[in-house]
């Protein structure tokens, strides 16, 4: 796929950096000092987020408003979930994701933007002629990623459900909330960047898939 081959030097460098960081993290968690590498998860997420925006085709007020709206939707949903046990089920965040607001790490709001953008970019490419299909497929991809993250989240010090296992309610909520954030992405980002987003999406599936198999 030509879309995987970046033409812009910034995109190429960003792709190289994000692959190296995740490869080092995977090796470190699997064969090295697991706790030390897991503690750097917020740094890795912020770096990925920064590179995602550096590689965007354009940055304007519309894009920024869309990203901030996704951040707010994600954070509000998480705050309601953590403090009232609604939406996702009863759970709480642990200590490896950094500074919290009302029990929710700020990085989680950033993660909502990150996941929405990379899944939305891929779905927009696959369903170029159907925005509705792209929106629903993007939400499905978000759920699939969450299904890989949930089993390893407690061991990595991210979050834990009171039931020790994510309930079906969690995945339904991810899909339901995924729809409006995908709508914000598809309507708010006119010139979508595909190359870096595709690589980061592949990395996310590989990283958490391999962590499930090898490390925990």
**What pLDDT is stored for residue 32 in this prediction?**
77
DSSP output for 135-177:
HHHHHHHHHHHHHHHTTTTTTTTSEEETTSS--HHHHHHHHHH
Residue-level pLDDT at 6: 65
Q: Has residue 138 got a pLDDT over 60?
A: yes
pLDDT of residue 111: 96
Instruction: Kindly report the number of other CB atoms within 10 A of residue 216's CB atom.
Output: 14
pLDDT band at residue 216 under the 50/70/90 scheme: low
pLDDT at residue 76, rounded to an integer: 97
- pLDDT score of 153: 93
Task: Provide the angle, in degrees to the nearest 10, between the axes of the packed helices 195-210 and 106-126.
Answer: 120
* Mean pLDDT for the chain overall: 93
Report d(CA 173, CA 154) in Å as an integer.
19
Give per-residue pLDDT as tens, 147-181. 999 999 998 999 999 988 999 999 999 999 999 99
What phi and psi, each to the nearest 5 degrees, are found at residue 102?
50, 40
Give me 126's structure tokens: 């696959």
pLDDT of residue 8: 84
Question: Higher pLDDT residue, 2 or 103?
Answer: 103
pLDDT at res. 37: 87
pLDDT at position 3 over 90: no
Q: Is the pLDDT of residue 31 over 90?
A: no
Q: Which residue has the higher pLDDT, 1 or 77?
A: 77
Phi, psi of 88, rounded to the nearest 5 degrees: -95, -20
Please tell me which residue, 48 or 32, carries the higher pLDDT value: 48
pLDDT value at residue 90: 95
Rounded to an integer, what is the distance from CA 165 to the centroid of its chain? Answer: 20
Evaluate if residue 212 carries a pLDDT over 70: yes
Query: What are φ and ψ of residue 68, in 5° steps?
Result: -65, -35
């Amino acid at each position: 796929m030509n879309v995987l081959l970046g033409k812009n030097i910034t995109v190429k460098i960003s792709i190289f950096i994000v692959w190296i960081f995740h490869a080092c993290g995977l090796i470190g968690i699997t064969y090295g000092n697991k706790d030390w590498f897991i503690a750097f998860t917020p740094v890795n997420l912020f770096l990925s987020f920064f590179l995602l925006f550096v590689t965007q085709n354009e940055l304007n007020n519309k894009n920024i408003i869309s990203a901030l709206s996704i951040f707010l939707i994600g954070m509000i949903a998480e705050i309601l979930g953590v403090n009232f046990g609604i939406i996702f089920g009863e759970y709480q965040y642990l200590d490896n994701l950094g500074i919290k607001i009302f029990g929710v790490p700020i990085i989680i709001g950033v993660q909502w933007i990150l996941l929405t953008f990379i899944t939305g970019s891929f779905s927009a490419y696959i369903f170029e002629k159907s925005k509705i299909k792209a929106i629903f497929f993007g939400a499905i991809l978000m759920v699939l990623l969450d299904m890989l993250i949930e089993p390893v989240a407690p061991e990595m010090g991210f979050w834990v459900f009171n039931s020790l296992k994510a309930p079906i309610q969690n995945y339904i909520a991810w899909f339901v909330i995924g729809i409006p954030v995908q709508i914000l992405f598809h309507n708010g980002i006119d010139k979508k960047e595909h190359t870096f987003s595709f690589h980061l999406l592949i990395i996310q599936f590989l990283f958490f898939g391999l962590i499930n198999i090898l490390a925990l």
